[in-house]
Structure 1
Amino acid sequence: MAQVTREIVLDALRAVRGPDLEGNIVDLGLVSDVFISDDKVYFSITVPAERARELDPLRAAAERCVKELPGVKGAMVALTADRRAGQVAPRPAPAASPAAHSPTAHSHAGHSHAGHGHTGHAHAAPSQGGGAAPRQPTAAQKAGIPGVGAIIAVASGKGGVGKSTTSVNLALALQTNGLKVGILDADIYGPSMPRLLKLSGRPQQVDGKLIRPMENYGLKVMSMGFLVDEEVAMIWRGPMIQSALLQMLREVQWGDLDVLVVDMPPGTGDAQLTMAQQVPLAGAVIVSTPQDLALIDARKGLAMFRKVEVPVLGIVENMSYFIAPDTGNRYDIFGHGGAEREAHRIGVPFLGGVPLTMGIRETSDAGTPVVVSEPEGEPARIYRAIATKVWEQVSARAADSGRVAPRIVFE
């Protein structure tokens, strides 16, 4: 089978042109971010921001063209309004349809979520007028995920605070408390769930449409780490991140879940805004460590979720303290209580402090999270207590809005 290269992809895309363009989309400089992994092709097409929705047929034509190439298992194309300095994107006419030399593409075998069509999403520039900014849509106005009761984001202001470890143990603790749980690894650049949950291989497609999530320890799991090799660097701009996230959310066969935990990437960038603006989040859990530097960044995450009107369910203080295994003495290596004081200061719940232990580190590296590998230990008990507090808040908010939330059953 011929190897798919960037040059082959670009050569094929030279057959794609819009109805009002004096040339093809490649020579006009509209194609960017071409990325190939495991015979799946990802790229962006630049279009005018105000025409993004009606120009989706251009994206679809380019996707069909690439999917017909020998050796290509799938393609994902995003429309973006990002422009290089000084570049003026041509304005295609609205009435005509884009054309490619190829007829409708036949289907290709493959495991990737990129093997079928996907609606592009462009970032439109904000209005420069003096009017008020549009109000963020409420959770009830955002499209949900069929079968999923509540979506909880686990976020941090910076990397290295143990957010992914907290996410996976929180998900398992919610499950231990009697709920049906899934977890989405939204960290496109640094996916952790395959290693944390000891999963490998590629997810399968169901009837050529939805993707069947991977499973372990009773959790349904989706991650970009299942679709690309561990050593591959994902060098994507915002629109590609947005497209991939929404596809992993809405085109996965999650089934009936009480809660979907989303492990967010660190910071306050495109992935966080996509989740906050496009998905009806039940709330966000912020993970921080006790020291002031981490808390400064945690405040930014809190401010972002509040600005987009996503409830903050509380703060978890990770690496809160260290108990020496030989003496039993306690050491506050990173300080102690900073996250709790910050939670009280800004008026959000403090969910609990998780100690720094060798057990958490070793079980995470081994793909056997502490909640399932050492269920009677103190860290597992703390995670279950955090999960109980989180779900109590989600249930209370659901009741306030007239929805009935599942009841936690302790056995």
Structure 2
Amino acid sequence: MTNRVLDTIMERAEEIRELGPVSERLGRLDDKAAKVLRDSGAIRMLQPAAYGGMEAHPREFAEMVMAAASLDGSTGWVAGIVGIHPWEMAFADPKVQQEIWGEDPDVWIASPYAPMGIARPVDGGYVFNGRWQFSSGTDHCDWIFLGGMLGDAEGKMAMPPSSLHLILPRSDYEIVEGSWEVAGLSGTGSKDIIVRDAFVPDYRVIEFAKVIDGSAPREAGLTNPTYLVPFSCAFPLGITSAVIGITEGALAAHLAYQRGRVQITGTKIKDDPYVLYAISEAAEEIATARTRLLDNVSRMYDKVAAGQEVTFAERAAGRRTQVRAAWRAVQAMNEIVVRSGGNAMRTDNPIQRFWRDAHVGLSHAIHVPGSVYHVSALTDLDIEPPQGPMRSMI
């Protein structure tokens, strides 16, 4: 079944490619592109089997995202972001799972997880307010995960800080049109979200601390290793896979363009040893990024499948692998794009769109190397990293 998802993506490859510029002009994923993802089952790969999901190995999910992104960056990005949300929804109260998927297993869930709202406790739940940026694929979603901080009775952040993931239906939030004007990944439609005094019942709330430490899936009684892989490995997986897939698309477009190209000097590319060297080096670097990312999630999957805990140090090293894989692939892509000639920057050439999309994808918060490398190095030195924001995505 999971292989069929990838097969469907590739069978409709030309359609996805052709819709890329359309989605970019729309500023969101074109309805036809979204339908390809729905038809393929891409967004149900990590969904619980009880609601039509495949409970696939996360490696297979990452391979699907890479394939979609190599055809069109925005389509792959939405597949990776929206496709990871059913994984966390598997931890949620069965009541909200039924509300979302009971009548239609193809209902999509958006995010962002950034804790930009305040949830004030009231009888039976919370009153929620906030504004968030970067809700990818949100026009095609009917529910949303939003990050928030626990508030006090006055609606101010409670101390000590406590982060929550709150689940809301489309009727409880506003999508801000015109809030996604960007240089790349325009087709993802990653618009702002506003929530004003929405009531969120208790059963639609997940404590983020239990998600990050792995207790949430265990408390939910989940035994499939897919759901026991750490959040800090699973959530970034869709994003980093998309970035690597985009660079694979850039490489393929570069090769197709260079085969018959003659430089202004009259030298054919096939006769230019400097460009050929750059092509080989970039191809290997991008392939290495892919292999390292897939190996990372496979090793974590195998460990939890064996009943073992993934330690904090291993999670930190895994995040280092993810971050470096994204940077390695994009830096390699740059080396070939700058050797593609001026015509590669024309809007009808896919090389320039892959190039822009990759850089916007690399700018996502999960790819910022500073704190990840810092924490990982400390754990390698057997030094306990300080508590606080540095550990937040590990």
Greater fraction strand: 1
Aligning the two structures, in what range does the TM-score lie when normalised by the shorter sequence? under 0.3
Larger radius of gyration: 1
Q: TM-score, normalised by structure 1?
A: 0.24
TM-score for both structures, normalised by structure 2: 0.25
Return the structure number with greater helix share. 2
